[in-house]
A = this chain, B = another copy of it.
Amino acid sequence: MEYIAFPANRRFDFTAIGRLCIDLNANEINRPMEETVTFTKYVGGSPANITIGMSRFGMKTAFIGKIANDQMGRFIEGYLKKNDIDTGNVITDNTGAVTGLAFTEIKSPRDCSILMYRDNVADLKLNAEEVQEDLIADSKLLLISGTALAKSPSREAVFQALEYAKKHDVVVAFDIDYRPYTWSSHEETAVYYNLAAEKCDIIVGTREEFDMMERFDRNPERDDQVTASKWFDYKAKIVIIKHGKAGSIAYTKDGASHRAKSFPAKVVKTFGAGDSYAAGFLYGVMQGWTLEKSMEFGSASACIVISSHSCSDAMPTVEQVETYINRSNAGEISNSFSF
């Protein structure tokens, strides 16, 4: 059964709007960051990672965002281009904003944390006037990411992108990607996440993220069906709720719920799991696969990324994901980690 119908004859399969930043990954790992001496630089940011993933899968992709007018910004733009991502709507800031940074700390494969630099960052300076209607009109799928809602004028840019998507029948996926820094209050967060989610066809988040969005609702049991049906009353067709080790469930408007099997992995760190899962899943949906097959493809994609040092750089190709699934099915990958 096809849950989502994508428009035909569009120049881009996939366009994302939101955060572009730099990951500085500790080279000396399995220790606290106080003892790390050197860092390696990668492009980061959840929507950037997903777009890179989609591009590696062969999709035609574009990005809507803002970069600092400095060496970090130019590095990001160069990396996107090298990955065949259209940067015609990647704007250079001229107000002295900086590039967001994420220093990663890997104390152990399961004890990872991030030290963020998010003050005065360029990505949150994108404004509504800078969003190109023609680009969205020429896309099949628009991905929005929650962090871009955290502050004006980026917040308004996302709402304007949603308006264009509605006008031109573009399918919208919402990666909730809630990060508490930058937001002023929990109330503010809940209000804008809800206003955005009303306008989306596919919503992906953790149970905790949906709890945050239900701050003003009455769902004391934290019931997935209550959560999903709220959004089906608006525009959503698929709502994926992630339950950590218990796995993810995709709810659909027809009342069904869908689960995928998980894969073993040799985990280096957990960063990037969600992004590669999202890329793999959305790729599957766009191929017209069943939700189960799409979720399985997402899981295998995530396993590849968490077995690696980087997020963006490690995004796999379709062949790599298929090989991983085959090797796993053949029992060749032993360490276990499930999504």
Interface residues of A, Cβ cutoff 8 Å to B: 24, 27, 32-34, 36-41, 70-72, 74-75, 78, 96, 98, 101, 103, 105, 115, 117, 119-120, 127-129, 133, 152-153, 156, 159-160, 163, 181, 184-185, 187-188, 190-192, 194-195, 216
- Taking the nearest CB of chain B, how far is it from the CB of A130, in angstroms? 9
Contacts of A34 in B (CB 8 A): 71, 74-75, 78
B129 & A117 in contact (Cβ 8 Å cutoff): no
Identical subunits present: 4
| Distance, CA A133 to CA B194, complexed state (A) | 17
- Taking the nearest CB of chain B, how far is it from the CB of A92, in angstroms? 14
B187 & A127 in contact (Cβ 8 Å cutoff): yes
A105 & B71 in contact (Cβ 8 Å cutoff): yes
Question: From A216, which residue of chain B is reached at the shortest CB distance?
Answer: B160
Question: From A156, which residue of chain B is reached at the shortest CB distance?
Answer: B191
Question: From A75, which residue of chain B is reached at the shortest CB distance?
Answer: B34
Q: Which 9 A-B pairs have CB atoms at the shortest separation, nearest pair first?
A: A119-B119, A33-B71, A128-B187, A156-B191, A119-B120, A34-B75, A159-B191, A34-B74, A38-B40
Question: From A188, which residue of chain B is reached at the shortest CB distance?
Answer: B156
A39 & B36 in contact (Cβ 8 Å cutoff): no
User: A39-B39, A96-B181 known; 6 other A-B pairs, CB under 8 Å?
Assistant: A33-B75, A98-B119, A119-B120, A127-B185, A153-B187, A160-B216
- Taking the nearest CB of chain B, how far is it from the CB of A96, in angstroms? 8
Known: A39-B39, A153-B185. A128 touches B191 (CB 8 A): yes
Q: A128's contact among B27, B41, B96, B216, by CB below 8 Å, is which? A: B216
- Taking the nearest CB of chain B, how far is it from the CB of A150, in angstroms? 12
